[in-house]
Amino acid sequence: MRKIYFLSDHSGVTAETFGHSLITQFNNKDFRQETLPFINTKDKAKDVVSKINQDFDESAMRPIIFATLVRKDLRLLLRTSHGLYLDIFDVFLKSVEKELQQESAQKVGRSHGMSDIESYMNRIEATNFALTNDDGGFNQNYDEADVILIGVSRTGKTPTCLYLALQYGIYAANFPLTDEELDQGMLPKFLKEQKKKIFGLTIEPKRLRQIRKKRRELGKYSTTQQVRYELREAEKLFKRYSIPYIDTTVISIEEISSRILDQRGIERKL
Amino acid sequence: MRKIYFLSDHSGVTAETFGHSLITQFNNKDFRQETLPFINTKDKAKDVVSKINQDFDESAMRPIIFATLVRKDLRLLLRTSHGLYLDIFDVFLKSVEKELQQESAQKVGRSHGMSDIESYMNRIEATNFALTNDDGGFNQNYDEADVILIGVSRTGKTPTCLYLALQYGIYAANFPLTDEELDQGMLPKFLKEQKKKIFGLTIEPKRLRQIRKKRRELGKYSTTQQVRYELREAEKLFKRYSIPYIDTTVISIEEISSRILDQRGIERKL
């Protein structure tokens, strides 16, 4: 099995994102992946080099290393291992320095560090908003919302709202469509008033059944008939009110979130 | 103001992460940032080129473009703009292809696409776990937890648990330390039994006051005396039980999460 490393002088989030974008382009499932974050001294870097070389010796397969190290001296050290060393900073930092006619700070922890209390608070407040306005919520302070997701149970509303809050600082509420709305084919008044903020989520019946059965094996909730009914009526409702919606069956939370921002023209706040 | 673009044929998450890691190395706040996701046809790519060129004409400053486009024909098109075009795939894809002796799939949406229902469900279940085990929760099914965060109110427990769930599929519970635990200097029995999973969060008194005052302007909750008392007793408690802990004052949710996984040796599940 080929070893894949994600190396970073900080949290490792960028190195993982960078590496995943490349390795997922290969239909190879035989990767052993490991993240080594907080490599911020020469000693730690040397230990990592030994570890990589040991891997190489044992497997006779060259490890692939996705790295984001800000400090040049550490990059040069890590580059001496027997792995294939690919580093964002190695390749792009010079171009950006040249373009901006400015030297880079070479300070770790900037990208996912705490830039300022303002954006930290944004993120926390957006998360609180998502939590208090989850699943219909108590307050329904939808005036403050940037977006309100609607859909039947288990279409991905909650994780999408939380992701929008944590990743982008967006105030996202969600409201579940239940038999009440579906039978009447109508949205409640307080939602109709916010029509421009509403976005619908739907999913294929087969997948929804699969997801619901994991939660509640028996009962009407996960029968084919109920699931089909709910989704059909929800989609009718989206169309009646001209609410944009997407099918979440084969797309990830990142993609749902990004599409919502894109289609509703909502600006990122972080 | 210099324009910064994040271009992608998919959600744009990788392009944003990539670009932020570089531009945060410059002490320049005068950037106008824009993400253009889902550039997946030649026509869309041509429109983007026009938009970039218009920016260049208007500001006489060359836009910097961080891009992650899987399709080579689209990269070649985007490269014709007057901006500085920096693309992860342009630079690294060949090296990885050569190393793996395999051609890349050139399929969009792999990195943040839905790879399989298994990992989707992991993520959703981890998010549900975080929600039901937030703030002491009802169930306290800590046997299932990968990690249990403890700390006084507003030290970042909830957003960190949610981030751990969404980003890594980790089951993270959290338990607030209140006057009950702090006065007695003891953890409840059900927590002592899970000592190996516990991780503490603390923060500087000044910052905690600042955060608490945003939530509740008046009352004991955000007085200097109360905040100092709680934090002092919480840290004593961490030390008494040898619980690892970190100060979250100047670090981000990403970094807190990564340090927890690192120090507790918890494997990422996504």
pLDDT digits 0-9 by tens, B103-130: 888 877 766 655 567 778 888 899 999 9
Nearby residues of B50 by Cβ (< 8 Å), 6 or more positions away: none
Of B113, B207, B268, which has the smallest distance from its Cβ to A252's Cβ? B113
Q: How confident is the model at residue A7 (pLDDT cuts 50, 70, 90)?
A: very high
Q: Indicate if the pLDDT at residue B237 is higher than 90.
A: yes
Averaged pLDDT for residues A228-242 = 97
* A70, A106 Cβ separation under 8 angstroms: yes
pLDDT at B141: 84
Of A24, A113, A127, which has the smallest distance from its Cβ to B110's Cβ? A24
Tokens read off for A257: 């979130």
Span of A52-61, A219-228, B216-225 with lowest mean pLDDT: B216-225
Q: Indicate if the pLDDT at residue B234 is higher than 80.
A: yes
pLDDT digits 0-9 by tens, B2-44: 999 999 998 999 999 999 999 989 987 789 999 999 999 999 9
Averaged pLDDT for residues B142-165 = 96
Better-predicted residue by pLDDT, A107 or B222: B222
SS (H, E, C) B175-232: EECCHHHHHHCCCCHHHHCCHHHEEEEECCHHHHHHHHHHHCCCCHHHCHHHHHHHHH
pLDDT digits 0-9 by tens, A129-142: 999 999 887 667 89
Check A124 against B10: CB less than 8 A apart: no
- Per DSSP (E only), the strands in chain A are 2-8, 31-36, 64-68, 84-87, 147-151, 172-176, 198-202, 245-247
What percent of chain B clears pLDDT 90, i.e. is strictly above it?
A: 75
pLDDT at B113: 59
Q: Indicate if the pLDDT at residue B58 is higher than 60.
A: yes
For A117-264, which CATH class? alpha beta
pLDDT at A115: 57
Q: How confident is the model at residue A187 (pLDDT cuts 50, 70, 90)?
A: very high
Q: Chain B residues with CB inside 8 Å of A125's CB? A: 214
Exposed e or buried b for every residue in A70-87, given b needs 16+ CB within 10 A? bbeebbebbbebebbbbb
Check B24 against A110: CB less than 8 A apart: yes
pLDDT at A113: 59
Element (H, E) at A14: helix A13-23
Q: Chain B residues with CB inside 8 Å of A96's CB? A: 22-23, 25-26, 64, 84, 86
pLDDT at A8: 95
Q: How confident is the model at residue A264 (pLDDT cuts 50, 70, 90)?
A: very high
Q: Chain A residues with CB inside 8 Å of B153's CB? A: none
Of B26, B112, B167, which has the smallest distance from its Cβ to A104's Cβ? B26
Q: How confident is the model at residue B198 (pLDDT cuts 50, 70, 90)?
A: very high
Q: How far is B210 from B178, CA to CA, in rounded Å?
A: 19
The two most distant CA atoms of chain A are separated, in Å, by 68
Check B254 against A127: CB less than 8 A apart: no
Q: Please give the mean pLDDT across all residues of chain B.
A: 92
Q: Indicate if the pLDDT at residue A30 is higher than 70.
A: yes
Exposed e or buried b for every residue in B179-210, given b needs 16+ CB within 10 A? eebbeeeebeeebeebeebbbbbbbebebbbb
Q: Indicate if the pLDDT at residue B258 is higher than 90.
A: yes
Q: How confident is the model at residue A70 (pLDDT cuts 50, 70, 90)?
A: very high
CB count, 10 Å around CB of A175? 24
Q: How confident is the model at residue B165 (pLDDT cuts 50, 70, 90)?
A: very high
What is the chain B residue with the closest CA to A154?
B124
pLDDT at A136: 85
Averaged pLDDT for residues B206-228 = 89
Q: Where do we find the tokens 């000693």?
A: A43
pLDDT at B138: 67
pLDDT at A250: 85
Q: How far is B108 from B120, CA to CA, in rounded Å?
A: 18
Averaged pLDDT for residues A141-149 = 94
What is the chain B residue with the closest CA to A36?
B262
pTM of the model: 0.88
Averaged pLDDT for residues B195-219 = 91
Check B105 against A27: CB less than 8 A apart: yes
Of B93, B125, B255, which has the smallest distance from its Cβ to A25's Cβ? B93
**What ipTM was estimated for this complex?**
0.87
The most confident of the ranges A93-102, A139-148, B236-245 is B236-245
Q: How many CB pairs under 8 A join A and B?
A: 218
Q: Indicate if the pLDDT at residue B53 is higher than 80.
A: yes
Averaged pLDDT for residues A250-259 = 90
Tokens read off for B232: 């002092």
Better-predicted residue by pLDDT, A34 or A109: A34
pLDDT digits 0-9 by tens, A108-131: 776 665 556 777 888 889 999 999
CB count, 10 Å around CB of B142? 19
Q: Please give the mean pLDDT across all residues of chain A.
A: 92
* B89, A26 Cβ separation under 8 angstroms: no
| A61 Cα to chain B: minimum distance (Å) | 10
pLDDT at B115: 57
